[in-house]
A and B are shown apart, each in its own frame.
Chain A
Amino acid sequence: MSFPWAQAYEPKTGLTKFLDERLPLPRFVYNAVGAGYPVPRNLNYMWNFGVLAGFALMLQIVTGIVLAMHYAPNALVAFATTEHIMRDVNWGWMMRYAHANGASFFFVVIYLHIFRGLFYSSYKAPREMIWLLGVVIFLLMMATAFMGYVLPWGQMSFWGAKVITGLFGAIPLVGEPLQIWLLGGFAPDNAALNRFFSLHFLMPFVIAGVVILHIWALHIPGSSNPTGVEIKGESDTVPFHPYYTAKDGFGLGIFLLVLMTFVFFLPNFLGHPDNYIEANPLSTPAHIVPEWYFWPFYAILRAFTQDIFFIPAKLLGVLAMFASILVWFFLPWLDKSPVRSGHYRPLFRKFFWFGLIPTMLVLFYCGGAPAEEPFVMLSQIATAYYFLHFLVILPIISSIEKPQPLPYSITEAVLGSDKKPVLGENASPAV
């Protein structure tokens, strides 16, 4: 769908006319990310992260294909070929550091993208499908990142693989055979390494496929915006190109500056020293931690230390960890407030900034800390709040909250208006 005032594509040269009748790719691009796609004029910089995530995915695919040319997924030589890449392959160190730090910054960008979606309630009708596909992408990313971290076959790779596949062992009855099946053995070894490599190579292309669906779904209603008020007329929009291509170009520059500072000057800052020790099934690192982007979920996993009736603590932790992400799938139906943007929701805003954000930070910190007090107790309180926030607090505040008056339109929000908005006039879903 597009808006009636969207600029129409007109092929100008002979080649584009030729193409337009046979394979209208230029028309498709023009209408998707060109001048033919009207976008709310008031998007702030939080709306940059979708494009940046797409860029990060491309960066990972390109550097990953290069690394796969030099790496061998065999437990005997995997660690050595990684060092071969670092030492002997032309620019190999740059490719590997770009891939490792690229993964971290892919998650940085994705977390900011999700954070934007949560604050501005981008998941609400008519954009539920965009949100659901986004959560699918996030889950696929987590699986891909986990399997990629196993490939260098260092100590953290090995013990990470052991711990994470061990989670499946917590499932009653089928757990243990399932774990052995996943690994193709009784502990991570060649079989596991080989299949992780194969799947790690495949998954980015699956992600790219879901990303296309995600963008397709986005183009049906168009982008949301910081006011949460739907587009009412032409004056609410600007064409994607050149306005948002320029803005995204600047955002990309900032992103690359930060990423390249890490790649060239702090390449191991986000990694763990133990992964420069070759995998050793006979010796466990002092404390096993996943990569930083899994810390909040790892904290939730470890928060459950007591059995409840017949459910063992380990299973509870596993269930809670998966539930903590699966709960996002239900957000569009849990939060029924007709107002989208957190700017106009005083109660929601309070719980968001003073509840959810500190909770995430605590979980993040505790996930990276050793399983000692006081970190365990802190993570338990934070875990409780996490579930209460999404499953109890959000549904309740969405029915009791009295939203602040919304602007009549995006144009009015940008330009200001003499007309005093009528309280609650727009407090119904603008479809």
Chain B
Amino acid sequence: MIRIIGILAGLFFALGVLWSFVTGAFTAATEGFGEETAEHAFHEHPLDLELSSDGPLGTWDVPQLQRGFKVYQEVCSACHGLQYVAFRDLADLEYTEAEIKAIAAQFQVPGIDPDTGESVLRAATPTDYIPSPYPNAVAAAAANNNAIPPDLSLITKARHDGSAYVYSLLVGYSAIPEELKAEFPDFSTPPGLYYNRYFPNLNLAMAPPLTSDGQVTYEGGSPTIAQMSEDVAAFLTWTAEPTMAERKAVGWPVLGFLLFATILAWLAKKQIWSSIKPSRKD
């Protein structure tokens, strides 16, 4: 009885889903799989980016992180905050306590006037988090043509291949390619948006932030746009996971110990079973 009900139920679901399949296949046969879109044809995967933090042995390149922080501070911080990174965390970048205090004091955070209780802006201290320049999301949207600049703390973990994505986006601005115009005459970049081949729908709301070599002054040199982009991508890799170097440093001894213990366990298992393990040969 249970098997008859089972067979009937099985046929019900199988035929039900095959009905979906047949209608789907019929639609596909008569109308095709849908049209190719400009986003699908011209969106590119991020460029290869090699950072010292890559790989199981990778660790931070502190001077690069410092350069990246400089780019963030002078360029990105005009629109983007780092709400999960406190100024005190910059100690990882080998800034001294006094330097961190001075850096924090350059940022304004919301506070309360101790005499009147009114909301005011005060200079940040090392225990504060790196603020967004906008008091709230509505203000951010209003100031940016309705596109809210995302917080950058986790941006490299919040995108596929995040570090390379940030780098590619910064160097990926261009005019609309001629081939795209030829293939998709309807495609356009609306005013206030910018063509960028590494952005999923090709039209990015962020104006090109790095526009000229030497926009940020490095000690002893004027960096290229690519150099600045790489440095800030490295910095944002750090902000997304400041504990990465520690994680890898702990990982190796853990794996080493486990390997040792597992070999011992295997020898013990072999030894214990040897007394009863018969051979098939006889």
Touch test A–B (CB under 8 Å): yes
Q: Which of B1-50 contact A (CB under 8 A)?
A: 2-3, 6-7, 9-11, 13-21, 23-25, 28, 33-34
- Which A residue's beta carbon lies closest to that of B57? A265
Contacts known (A87-B84, A276-B157); A330 close to B269, Cβ less than 8 A: no
The digit string for A253-268, where 1 denotes a CB below 8 A from any CB of B, is: 1101100110111011
Complex contacts, A80 vs chain B, CB 8 Å: 84
Q: Are A273 and B276 in touch, CB under 8 angstroms? A: no
Complex contacts, B262 vs chain A, CB 8 Å: 250, 253-254, 256-257
Interface of B is mostly: helix
The distance in angstroms between the C-alpha atoms of A316 and B248, with both chains bound, is 47
Q: Are B10 and A388 in touch, CB under 8 angstroms? A: yes
Q: Which of A329-369 contact B (CB under 8 A)?
A: 330, 333-334, 336
Interface magnitude class on chain A: 35 or more
Q: Are A249 and B268 in touch, CB under 8 angstroms? A: yes
- Minimum CB–CB distance from B36 to chain A (whole Å) comes to 13
- Minimum CB–CB distance from A407 to chain B (whole Å) comes to 13
Q: Are B247 and A415 in touch, CB under 8 angstroms? A: no
Q: Are A308 and B19 in touch, CB under 8 angstroms? A: yes
Contacts known (A80-B84, A334-B2); A384 close to B268, Cβ less than 8 A: no
Q: Are A249 and B265 in touch, CB under 8 angstroms? A: yes
- Which B residue's beta carbon lies closest to that of A41? B276
- Which A residue's beta carbon lies closest to that of B150? A277
Q: Which of B243-258 contact A (CB under 8 A)?
A: 243, 246-248, 250-252, 254-255, 258
Complex contacts, A238 vs chain B, CB 8 Å: 276
Complex contacts, B34 vs chain A, CB 8 Å: 373
Q: Are A395 and B3 in touch, CB under 8 angstroms? A: yes
Q: Which of A31-47 contact B (CB under 8 A)?
A: 41
The distance in angstroms between the C-alpha atoms of A256 and B254, with both chains bound, is 10
Q: A112 at interface (Cβ–Cβ under 8 A)?
A: no
Contacts known (A86-B243, A304-B20, A305-B24); A246 close to B259, Cβ less than 8 A: no
Q: A151 at interface (Cβ–Cβ under 8 A)?
A: no
The distance in angstroms between the C-alpha atoms of A299 and B148, with both chains bound, is 34
- Which B residue's beta carbon lies closest to that of A303? B17
Q: A51 at interface (Cβ–Cβ under 8 A)?
A: no
Q: A376 at interface (Cβ–Cβ under 8 A)?
A: yes
Instruction: Select one of A93, A242, A334, A387 contacting B14, CB under 8 A.
Output: A387
Complex contacts, B10 vs chain A, CB 8 Å: 387-388, 390-392
Q: Which of B93-101, B118-126, B158-166 contacts A (4 or more CB under 8 A)?
A: B158-166
Instruction: Select one of A265, A268, A383, A395 contacting B248, CB under 8 A.
Output: A265
Q: A76 at interface (Cβ–Cβ under 8 A)?
A: no
Q: B200 at interface (Cβ–Cβ under 8 A)?
A: yes
Contacts known (A87-B243, A277-B154, A416-B280); A377 close to B21, Cβ less than 8 A: yes
Q: Are A380 and B20 in touch, CB under 8 angstroms? A: yes
- Which A residue's beta carbon lies closest to that of B157? A276
Complex contacts, B15 vs chain A, CB 8 Å: 384
Complex contacts, B266 vs chain A, CB 8 Å: 250, 253
Q: Are B265 and A304 in touch, CB under 8 angstroms? A: no
- Minimum CB–CB distance from A234 to chain B (whole Å) comes to 12
Known: A264-B247, A391-B9, A395-B3. 8 other contacts (CB 8 A): A86-B241, A254-B262, A264-B254, A276-B157, A286-B200, A384-B15, A392-B6, A415-B280
> A residues bordering B, Cβ < 8 Å?
41, 80, 83, 86-87, 93-94, 97, 238, 242-243, 246-247, 249-250, 252-254, 256-257, 260-261, 263-265, 267-268, 273-274, 276-277, 286, 303-306, 308, 313, 316, 319-320, 323, 327, 330, 333-334, 336, 372-374, 376-377, 380-381, 383-385, 387-388, 390-392, 395, 414-416
29 CB-based A-B contacts, threshold 8 Å: A97-B247, A238-B276, A246-B269, A246-B273, A247-B273, A250-B262, A253-B262, A253-B265, A260-B254, A264-B247, A264-B254, A273-B158, A273-B162, A276-B240, A305-B20, A306-B24, A308-B16, A313-B20, A316-B16, A323-B13, A330-B2, A333-B2, A334-B2, A377-B21, A380-B21, A383-B17, A385-B14, A391-B10, A414-B278
